[in-house]
Structure 1
Amino acid sequence: MRRRLIQSTLAVVLVVIAVFGVSLVIVESRTISNSAQERVDSEALRLASIVDSRILGDEDITADILRSQVGREQYAVIRIPGKAPIELGVKPEGDVIHYTADGEEGETVTVQEPRSTVTREVGRTLLIIGAVALLAVIAAVLLAIRQANRLASPLTDLAETAERLGSGDPRPRHKRYGVPELDRVADVLDSSAERIGRMLTAERRLAADASHQLRTPLTALSMRLEEITLTDDPDTVKEEANVALTQVERLTDVVERLLTNSRDPRTGSAVSFDLDEVIQQQLAEWRPAYRSAGRAIVSSGKRHLRAVGTPGAVAQVLAALIENSLMHGGGTVALRTRVTGNQAVVEVTDEGAGVPADLGNRIFERTISGRNSTGIGLAVARDLAEADGGRLELLQAQPPVFGLFLSRTPPPHKPEDDLPTVR
C-alpha cells in the first residue's frame, strides 16, 4: 500500500510538472525573445536620436565618440548620407536579432545582437525551472512517504487489533491517528473489544461461580445419598430422600440464579419470606458435615423474622458463610438473628482465629483467600446479597463475625402483578 500511494502521488506530481513546466518554458522562451527584440529596437531608436541631435548641433559623429553607446554584445551600423558608414562593436556571426531605425536627418541606424544571447538566457531559465521541478518532485516524494506512513501504519495497527480480537485478546488499544475515518474504525474496534472483554469476563465469572456454588449442594447431596446407602430403615431412607429432593431443588435454584446473574447481576426477584425457615434448612444440611468434623452448628437470636430477598440467594449466602467457617474456622459455628432499624441481620461466627489483619475487608474481593481455596465464595456471596438490595459485611475480624443485612420492608406492589397470566 505504501508503494502504491507513493507511486500514485509521484505520478500526479509529474503530470502536473509536465503540463505546467512545458507551458512555462514556452511562455518564458517567447518572453525572452520578445524582450531581446524590444531591447534591440530601443537601442536602435536611442542611437538614431543621438545621431540626430549631433547632426543638428553640427557636432562630430565618429566611431570613437559613439562606441560607448553600444552594448558589449551589440553591433551597430550608422549610415549618414554623404558619409562613410560608421560601425560600432563586433559584427556577430550566425543568426542575429536586428532592427533599423530611420533618423529625422535621413540617417539610418541598424543594431544587431546575436541570437545566442537569447539562447543562453532561455537555457538559464530552463535550468531554474528544472531545479524547481526537481525540488517539487523531492518534496512530493517526501510528502507521499509521510502520507503513506500516516495511512498505512494505522491500517496495520487496526489489522493487528482485529487479529488480537479474533485470537481472544480483547484489550482495547485506545490509540488514535488524527484521521477521522481511521479514528472511527478504531472507536468501533475498541468498543467491540470492551464488549467482548465484558462477555468473556462474564463467562469466566459464571464458570468460576458455578464451580464454587455447585460444589456445596453437590457435596451435601452426596452425603445424603451415602446416608441412604448405609441404612436399611425405610423411614430413614424416606426422610433422607426427602432431604435429598430438597437439596436437588436448591441445586436447581443455584443454577438458575447463576445464569440470571451472568446476564444481569442486579436482577433480583425479592419477596418477603420466613428467615427462620431458611436458617433451619441450612442447619439441617450442614449438621452432618460438622458432625464428621467433630464440630457443632447452632442458631440463636430473634425468631419468626421476615425478611425481603430471594430465599434461594439468601440460602446460598448462608451456605457460603457456613462452608467458610467449616474450612477456615474452628469450634462451634453460631447463626444469630437480630433486628437493627428496618433490617433483619443474620450473623455467622465461629471460634476460630479469624480473618488475618492483612486481608480485612479485602476478603470479599475475588482471588483473595486466606488459604488454598478459590477465593470467590465470599465475593459471590456479597454479589448475591446485593442483587436483592441487601449487603454482606465483615463485622468483626477476630473472632470472625459476618453479618448479612436484609430489608424487612416488603417489596413494592407492581401493577403488572395483578394481570392474569396468559397461557
Structure 2
Amino acid sequence: MRRRLINSTLAVVLVVIAVFGVSLVIVETRTITSSAQDRIGSEALRLLGVVEADALEHRKVDAGSLSEQLDVGTYARITVPGQPVVEVGDRIEDNVIRGTARGEQGEVVVVEESRSTVTREVGRTLAVVGAVALLAVVAAVLLAVRQANRLASPLTDLAETAERLGSGDPRPRHKRYGVPELDRVADVLDASAERIARMLTAERRLAADASHQLRTPLTALSMRLEEITVTDDLETVREEATIALTQVERLTDVVERLLTNSRDPRTGSAVPFDLDEVVKQQVEEWRPAYRSAGRAVVRSGKTGMRAVGTPGAVSQVLATLVENALMHGGGTVALRTRVTGNQAVIEVTDEGPGVPPDLGNRIFERAISGRNSTGIGLAVARDLAEADGGRLELLQSQPPVFALFLSRTAPERAEPERTVR
C-alpha cells in the first residue's frame, strides 16, 4: 500500500509539472524573444534619432561615436542619402534578431543581435524551471512517504488489533491516529474488544459458578447412591432413591438458574415458599456426611415461617454454608431460624475457628478464601441471595455466624422453638 500511495502521488505531481512546466517554458521563451525583439527595435529608433540630429546639423554620421552607444555584440548599419553606408560593430552572418528604423529623410538604421543571447536567457529559464520541478518532485516524494506512513501504519495496527481479537486477546488498545475514518474503525474495534472481554468474563464466571454449584448436589447425590449400594433393605433403597431423584431435580434447577443468571443476573423468580421444608431438606441431606465426619448438623429456632425467594436458590445458599462449615469449621453445625422485622433470618454457625480477622466481609469476594478453596462459593451464594431480593451477611467471625435474610410473608400458625438432631 505504501508503494501504491507513493507512486500515485508522484505520478500526479509529474503530470502537473509536465503540463504547467512545458506551458511555462513556452510562454517564457516567447516572452524572452519578444522582449529581445522590442529591445533591438528600441535600439534602432535611438540610433535613428542620433542620425537625424546629425543630418539636421549637416554633419556626417560618425561611426566612432555610434559604436560607443551600442552594446557589445550588436551590429548596426546606417544608410543616409548622399552619404556612404556606415557599419558599426561586427557583422553577424546568420540567426540574428533584427530591428529596423526609417527616418523622414530616407535614413535607414538596421540593428542586429545574435539570437544566442535569447537562447542563453531561455536556457537560464529552463534551468530555473527544472530546479523548481526537481524540488517539487522531492517534496512530493517526502509528502507521499509521510502520508503513506500515516495511512499504512494505522492500518497495520488495526490489522494487528483484529488479529489479537481473533486469537482471544480482547484487550482494547485505545489508540487513535488523527484520521477520522481510521479512528472510527479503532473505536469499533475497541468496543468489540470490550464486548468480547465481557462475554469471555461471563463465560468463565458461568463455568466457575457451574462447577461450584453443581458440586454440592452431586456430592449429596453420590452419598445417596452409596447408601443404596451398601444396603439390602428394599424400603431403604426406595427412600434413598426418592431422595436421589430430589437431588436430580435440584441439579436441573441449578442448571436452569445458572443459564438464567448468565443471560441476566438480575432476573429472579422469587415466590412465597415454606422455609421449614428447605431447612429440613438441607439437614437431612447433609446428616450422612456429618455423621461420617463424626460431627452433627442440627436445626432450631422459629418454625412455621414462609419467606419470599427461590427455593432452589435458598437451598443452594444454605448448602454452600453447610458445606463450608463441614470443610473448614468444627463441632456441631446449627441452622437457626428467627424473625427480625419483616424479614426471615436463617443463621448457620459452627464451633470452629471462624473467619480470620483480616478477611471479614471480604470473604464474599471472588477468589478470596481463608483456606485452600476456590473462593467462589460464598460469592455465588451472595449473588443468589441478592437475585431474589435477600442478602447474605457475616454477623460474627469467631465463632462464625452467617445469616441469610429473606423477605417474610404473613405468618401462619407458629410452633414453639425446638431443636432437631
- TM-score (norm: length of structure 1): 0.89
Q: How far apart, in 1, do the equivalents of 2:112 and 2:402 lie?
A: 117
Q: How far apart, in 1, do the equivalents of 2:354 and 2:189 lie?
A: 47
The verdict on how the C-alpha distance between 1:62 and 1:219 changes in structure 2, with shifts beyond 3 A counting, is: same
Q: How far apart, in 1, do the equivalents of 2:72 and 2:357 lie?
A: 106
Note the residue ranges of structure 2 that are not aligned, 5 or more in a row. Answer: 411-421
Q: How does 1:65-144 map to 2 (within 5 A)?
A: 65-144=65-144
**In the TM superposition, what is the alpha-carbon distance from 1:56 to its structure 2 partner?**
4.1
Q: How does 1:19-98 map to 2 (within 5 A)?
A: 19-56=19-56, 62-98=62-98
Q: Which residue of 2 aligns with 1:342?
A: 342
Does the residue aligned with 1:250 lie in a helix, a strand or coil?
helix
Q: Does 1:151 align with 2:151?
A: yes
Give a deviation string over 1:337-391, Cα, whole Å, max 9, x none: 3333433232222222222233333322222222222221112112212222222
Q: How far apart, in 2, do the equivalents of 1:362 and 1:46 lie?
A: 110
Is the deviation greater in 185-194 or in 307-316? 185-194
**In the TM superposition, what is the alpha-carbon distance from 1:220 to its structure 2 partner?**
0.9
Q: How far apart, in 2, do the equivalents of 1:192 and 1:94 lie?
A: 81
Q: How far apart, in 1, do the equivalents of 2:50 and 2:348 lie?
A: 128
Q: How far apart, in 2, do the equivalents of 1:234 and 1:40 lie?
A: 137
Does the residue aligned with 2:240 lie in a helix, a strand or coil?
helix
Letter aligned with residue 23 of structure 1: S
**In the TM superposition, what is the alpha-carbon distance from 1:59 to its structure 2 partner?**
7.1
**In the TM superposition, what is the alpha-carbon distance from 1:173 to its structure 2 partner?**
2.4
The verdict on how the C-alpha distance between 1:277 and 1:68 changes in structure 2, with shifts beyond 3 A counting, is: farther
Does the residue aligned with 2:352 lie in a helix, a strand or coil?
coil
Q: Which residue of 1 aligns with 2:166?
A: 166
Give a deviation string over 1:73-132, Cα, whole Å, max 9, x none: 433333333334444444445411110111344322222221111111111111111111
Q: How far apart, in 1, do the equivalents of 2:357 and 2:216 lie?
A: 27
Q: Which residue of 2 aligns with 1:195?
A: 195
The answer on whether the counterparts of 2:48 and 2:102 sit within 8 Å (CA) in structure 1 is yes
The verdict on how the C-alpha distance between 1:301 and 1:51 changes in structure 2, with shifts beyond 3 A counting, is: farther
Q: How far apart, in 1, do the equivalents of 2:22 and 2:212 lie?
A: 82
Q: Does 1:399 align with 2:383?
A: no
Is the deviation greater in 284-293 or in 66-75? 66-75
The percent of aligned pairs where both chains have the same amino acid is 80
Q: Which residue of 2 aligns with 1:17?
A: 17
Q: Which residue of 2 aligns with 1:4?
A: 4
Give a deviation string over 1:263-293, Cα, whole Å, max 9, x none: 2211111111122221121111112212222
Q: Which residue of 2 aligns with 1:315?
A: 315
Q: Which residue of 1 aligns with 2:328?
A: 328
Is the deviation greater in 82-91 or in 258-267? 82-91
The answer on whether the counterparts of 2:306 and 2:409 sit within 8 Å (CA) in structure 1 is no
**In the TM superposition, what is the alpha-carbon distance from 1:19 to its structure 2 partner?**
1.9
Q: Which residue of 1 aligns with 2:352?
A: 352
Q: How far apart, in 2, do the equivalents of 1:321 and 1:175 lie?
A: 47
Does the residue aligned with 2:406 lie in a helix, a strand or coil?
strand
Q: How far apart, in 2, do the equivalents of 1:184 and 1:166 lie?
A: 19
RMSD of Structure 2 on Structure 1 (CA): 2.3
**In the TM superposition, what is the alpha-carbon distance from 1:60 to its structure 2 partner?**
7.7
The verdict on how the C-alpha distance between 1:113 and 1:347 changes in structure 2, with shifts beyond 3 A counting, is: farther
Letter aligned with residue 242 of structure 1: T
Q: Does 1:299 align with 2:291?
A: no
The answer on whether the counterparts of 2:172 and 2:193 sit within 8 Å (CA) in structure 1 is yes
Letter aligned with residue 330 of structure 1: G
Does the residue aligned with 1:214 lie in a helix, a strand or coil?
helix
The verdict on how the C-alpha distance between 1:46 and 1:397 changes in structure 2, with shifts beyond 3 A counting, is: farther
Note the residue ranges of structure 1 that are not aligned, 5 or more in a row. Answer: 411-423
Q: Which residue of 1 aligns with 2:273?
A: 273
The verdict on how the C-alpha distance between 1:63 and 1:338 changes in structure 2, with shifts beyond 3 A counting, is: farther
Give a deviation string over 1:116-163, Cα, whole Å, max 9, x none: 111111111111111111111111111221222222222222222222
- TM-score (norm: length of structure 2): 0.89
Q: Aligned residues, how many?
A: 410
Letter aligned with residue 111 of structure 1: V
Does the residue aligned with 2:117 lie in a helix, a strand or coil?
helix
Q: How does 1:234-249 map to 2 (within 5 A)?
A: 234-249=234-249
